[in-house]
Structures are given as structure tokens and as C-alpha cells.
Amino acid sequence: MVFVVALLGASVASAQTSPVVVGADEGSRMRPIARMVGSRWMATCEVPTPPAVRRGTPQRPAVVASGDTVIDAIRYVPRGGKEWQQIEAAVRTVFLQRETQQNVAPATLGRVAIDVETLSTGGPAGSSSIYYFRASKTVHDSRAENISSEEADVDPPGDLRIEVIGWLRAAADRVTPLGTNATLSWEQAEDRPVSGTRRSVLTPIGILRSPAGTVWVMQDHVGDGSWFALYDVGAGGVRMIMRSDSVEC
């Protein structure tokens, strides 16, 4: 996944001398994510020691790390509140900018509302400055109920979806994008899975804070499969550090 970023310059620097092992607590098992030695992140099959009280589930894993690494839980911003309204306005502005790059007729998109699906951050309300969002527009095929079988064989009905995800920084009553990614997809109506989706769904599960900087731990779903990725997120921009599926355990 490629992000349009403000700056891709800084590498992760670390003052830590002992390795940090990061895993995902899914309740019944711990899944390895990554290991950091010095300033270098790498894939691993190691897992940190599970906590005495397991907090994760397969649907929402909890991040666990060795050493003194501080982990912020993900906080979902309540829809409709003052905090939501402030960030939502910036999300909509970013979405409108990115949708023009998808080569879809403006008349088609103009009649569809933007759905800000999720807005999350770390730390308590009032202390956060970086937010992750997912927003979309879905254009439903108006022929779906009236199309003949002959027409469906040639041009099957389906939904067109534009999705924009990314991070925003709020400071001094101003919200600016750090890095965003836009995707255009089409899903044939009759091929939709009974549950879940065939598109990628990137979800934050925790934030690592250390002298190395701020790293967002993300879970990516496609169908029944899932893996994890680390994103270095800061005032300078966003970059993916690594994915957990780069090694066979």
C-alpha cells in the first residue's frame, strides 16, 4: 500500500539497547509482529510474554511489547461530538481532493454522500494530536433489481467504492494531513461473501511510544486472512516500516 506523504525522510532512531519484541494478543494465542534491535525493525517468530490478564480477541487484538515500551490503546472518537466534528471537516476536505484522482465521472460521485466510517486516536480525549480515519463513497448499481439475466451475463451489477484512509494531525485548531491513500474498487453483487469483505481493511490496534518515535500497529484484513503492519507516524509524514507476513513461522 503506497501513501502520499508529506515527508519520507527520517528513519526510526532508537536509544534503546535491548531488543523489543512486539506481538498481538488474540485471547487464545499470541501472534508475532516484529522485533526491534537498536534502530532496526525486523520480522520475527518471537512473541512477548503474554500478560496475566488477556485483553485481546480475534476481532480486536491487543498489542503487547517487551521491555518498557509504552503502549497506547486505540480510542475511537465518539461520532457527532465536538472532537469528531473538528476532525470530520478535515477528513471530508481530504476525501474530495483524493476522489478527483480516481477518474470517476463527477456527476456520478456528486450525488453520493461521504461516509466517515471510523475515526480513532491514542490517549484520552483532549491529549491527542494524530488521528487515523477511514472514509468512503459507495455508488450502488441502480440496475441491480431490474436487470435481466441476459444483461447481467454481459454487464453484471455491482457497487463502485472509493475509500480514503490516512492520518491527520491536529494542532492549534488546525488539522493537516500527514499521509493518505485512496483506492477505487468494484464488487460484483452476486460474488459478495456472506460475511466479511474481499477488500483490504486496515485497522489500528495499538500505538507504540518510545524514544524511537511513534509507531502505529495496524491489522490488515482481506477475507478471512489477517496480518499486521507497523507505520511510523509523525509530524514529518507516514511510512510503513514492515509487515508481519514477510516471514514464515
Q: What was the pLDDT predicted at 105?
A: 81
Measured at the CA of 170, the angle between CA 79 and CA 203, to 5 degrees, comes to 55
B/e letters for 166-200, b = 16+ CB within 10 Å, e = fewer, are: bbbbbeeeebebbbbbbeebebeeeeeeeeeeeee
User: Which is more confident, 181 or 16?
Assistant: 181
The pLDDT value recorded for residue 118 is: 96
Give the whole-number percent of the chain exceeding pLDDT 90. 49
pTM of the model: 0.83
Report yes or no: 43 and 12 within 8 Å, Cβ to Cβ: no
d(CA 147, CA 155): 10
Band of pLDDT at residue 11, cut at 50, 70 and 90 = very low
Position 190 scores a pLDDT of: 59
Select the more confidently predicted residue: 155 or 241: 241
pLDDT at 9 over 50: no
Confidence class for position 3, pLDDT limits 50, 70, 90: low
Give the pLDDT of residue 155: 58
In sequence order, which ranges of the chain are alpha helices (DSSP H)? 82-99, 106-110, 149-154
Whole-number pLDDT of residue 144: 55
Q: Tens digits of per-residue pLDDT, 95-145?
A: 999 999 988 888 778 788 999 999 999 977 766 789 999 999 988 776 555
> Could you read off the pLDDT of 34-84 as tens digits, one per residue?
999 887 899 999 999 988 888 889 889 999 999 888 999 999 999 999 999
pLDDT of residue 196: 54
pLDDT per position as a tens digit, 187-200: 776 555 555 556 77
pLDDT at 145: 58
The x, y and z cell numbers of residue 126, run together, are 483532549
User: Averaged over 139-165, what is the pLDDT?
Assistant: 68
Label residue 12 by pLDDT band (50, 70, 90): very low
Sheet bearing 130-139, strands edge to edge: 4-5, 174-188, 158-171, 130-139, 115-122, 74-76
The residue ranges of DSSP E strands in the chain, in sequence order, are: 4-5, 20-25, 30-37, 40-42, 62-65, 70-72, 74-76, 115-122, 130-139, 158-171, 174-188, 201-210, 213-222, 225-234, 237-243
Cell of 28: 487464545
pLDDT in tens, 220-234: 987 778 899 999 998
For strands 20-25 and 158-171, give the pairing. Answer: unpaired
Q: Give the residue with greater pLDDT, 205 vs 160.
A: 205
